[in-house]
A and B are shown apart, each in its own frame.
Chain A
Amino acid sequence: MLVASYYLWIAPHILLGIFLICLLRRRLQRQLPIFVGYVVFELVQFTVLFTIFLHSPFPVAIYKWTLVVGEGIGSILELGVIYELANELLLSRSTLGSMLRPVLQVVLALLLLGAAIGSGAFSGISVQRVNNIFEMINFSSNLIEAGMVLALFIFARALRVSWHSWVAGVALGFGVSASIDLVSAALRAQWGERAFSAVDLTQMASFHVCVVIWLISLFLADRTPPFPDEKLKISDLELWDQELQRMVQR
């Protein structure tokens, strides 16, 4: 159990470091700058928490407050990434931007309402104030994140908008991780402190899955078909001519 928890804590961050290097090498940071900021923040947070963890005697209070502050900043950055994904997918297109922006705002408002209801219902997860703050931020951000990513995928499917594979991978990673974390947060609320370690392991595993999805999507070749500059063929000219004639007759 101890080995598994160490593995799930350290391995995803090593993979995340590799992912960041690959991302910067391919100069993809310009496409999703807030996401890159989030990845850097995750790595910094891990380094700080790991350093505190190694300190003897273990400063519990400092560790917990660092975790809470980190969770808060991380949640804000995650929402920024969701906005970035929405912008990349929908809002940057002039036709869709004006029509879908209000729809996404309504979805966000509903998710905020759901997060408020959930946070109110789960307010007694722990007797410790710092733990409660952490759990509320964790639950709310996961609910909003999972809901927004799902809404983006639904719109993309309905409108047949295609994403570049690595951007879709980023969204999928966030969606999978947030959904699993949402389930585990609800389980923690149900079973209380008895479920804390199991839920922690589940959340670390979900982050591991998320980073693996990001890495795989980065290595997947861009599936958009390449179109070399082909010379005009006679058959193309004939087709063009036929089409023009058909349009003139219309």
Chain B
Amino acid sequence: MTIAIIFIFLGLLALALTVYLAKGHLSKSGDLEKLAIQLRPVDVGAFCNLICASEQQYLRDHLPPREFRSIHRERMGAAVDYVRCAAHNASILMRLGEAARQHSNPSVRQAGDKLLENGLRLRLYAIQVVPRLYLSMAFPKARPTPDILADTYDNMSRQVVTLSCLHFPTHGMSSAL
């Protein structure tokens, strides 16, 4: 009886979740111009500063422990916001990359491929980095995150510029990043 009820519940849950998640794939808006407006500016330099180990060590050495913990929490909170913005921008740039992959020019297709690949990589890193930043908030001794996320974001920005350079309409995305 109990196992039957569990599987009935799991089946209904799977049905509801599948329909909910599939809705996004089937009703995706194709207007990149509108998406370009949704890009959020990300200051890669400021993000690097927030997660910099030497910066963290400097604050630890020069601040009382209580104040350091409070400031560290705020810094990690800000870093989480940066990562979320970068991941959000990555999802928009991935759409640009997907569109570029259908272009007739092989150079544009190649640039689109690279953009898509970096977008995926950045989103994967973001999924891994956010919990680590929260962990660092709770335990300030934990090293928050490697700089790879900032590098990947930087690569993506460069690829959008490359696309603009290849006559591909980027709707001003490169300037919004």
Binding site for B on A (CB under 8 A): 93-96, 99, 117-118, 121-122, 143, 146-147, 149-150, 153-154, 156-163, 165, 168-169, 171-172, 175-176, 178-180, 182-183, 185-187, 189-190, 217, 220, 223-227, 229-232, 236, 239-240, 242-244, 247, 250
Q: Are A236 and B164 in contact (CB under 8 A)?
A: yes
Give the CA-CA distance A208 to B175 in the complex, in Å. 49
Give the CA-CA distance A231 to B167 in the complex, in Å. 7
Give, as a whole number of angstroms, the nearest-CB distance from B175 to chain A: 5
Give the CA-CA distance A113 to B10 in the complex, in Å. 15
B161 at the interface (CB under 8 A from A): yes
Chain A contact surface mostly: helix
Which of B67-75, B77-85, B99-107 sits within the interface?
B99-107
Q: Which of B5, B160, B164 counts the most chain A CB atoms within 10 A? A: B164
Give, as a whole number of angstroms, the nearest-CB distance from B14 to chain A: 4
Give the CA-CA distance A168 to B25 in the complex, in Å. 7
Binding site for A on B (CB under 8 A): 1, 3-5, 7-8, 10-12, 14-15, 17-19, 21-22, 24-26, 28-32, 44-45, 90-91, 94-95, 98-100, 102-105, 116-117, 119-121, 123-124, 127, 157-158, 160-161, 164-165, 167-170, 172, 174-175
Contact of A176 among B15, B102, B165 (CB under 8 A): B15
Given A95-B124, A183-B8, A247-B158, CB of A117 within 8 Å of CB of B3: yes
Contact of A165 among B25, B91, B100, B169 (CB under 8 A): B25
Chain B contact surface mostly: helix
